[in-house]
């Protein structure tokens, strides 16, 4: 069975206050980057999924992990890609 790598991006939902993004925006403005108008901060995760029978199975496992632990569905969105990992 092949091994897979899931690349997961978790970000605040639109309309949710993002204090980390606001702090980064303030820092960029202080450094003179006045053209930056907004920053949204999130998380990037890489998860090795060993010996899944198919890409679809690895994607299903990744969805389950995101829903159960990696993202808070009330305030966060997630997206991912699953690639075969040699």
For residue range 52-63, list pLDDT tens digits in order: 999 999 999 999
Phi, psi of 29 (to 5 degrees): -60, -45
Place of tokens 């993002």: 18
- The neighbour count for residue 66, using CB atoms within 10 Å, is 21
Query: For the chain, how are helix, strand and coil distributed in percent, rounded to 5?
Result: 35, 30, 40
How many domains does the chain contain in total? Answer: 1
Is the pLDDT reported for residue 86 higher than 80? no
User: What CATH number corresponds to the domain at position 17?
Assistant: 3.30.1280.10
Considering the entire predicted model, what is its pTM?
0.88
**Any residues with CB less than 8 A from the CB of 70 and at least 6 apart, and which?**
8, 10, 45, 78
* Residue 24, domain extent: 3-84
CA distance 9 to 45: 7
pLDDT single digits (tens) 69-82: 999 999 999 999 99
């Amino acid at each position: 069975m092949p091994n897979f790598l899931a690349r997961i991006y978790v970000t605040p939902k639109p309309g949710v206050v993002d204090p980390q993004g606001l702090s980064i925006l303030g820092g960029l403005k202080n450094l003179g980057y006045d053209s930056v108008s907004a920053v949204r901060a999130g998380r990037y995760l890489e998860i090795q999924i060993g010996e899944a029978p198919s890409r679809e199975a690895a994607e299903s496992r990744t969805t389950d992990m995101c829903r159960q632990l990696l993202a808070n569905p009330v305030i966060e969105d997630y997206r991912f890609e699953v690639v075969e990992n040699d």
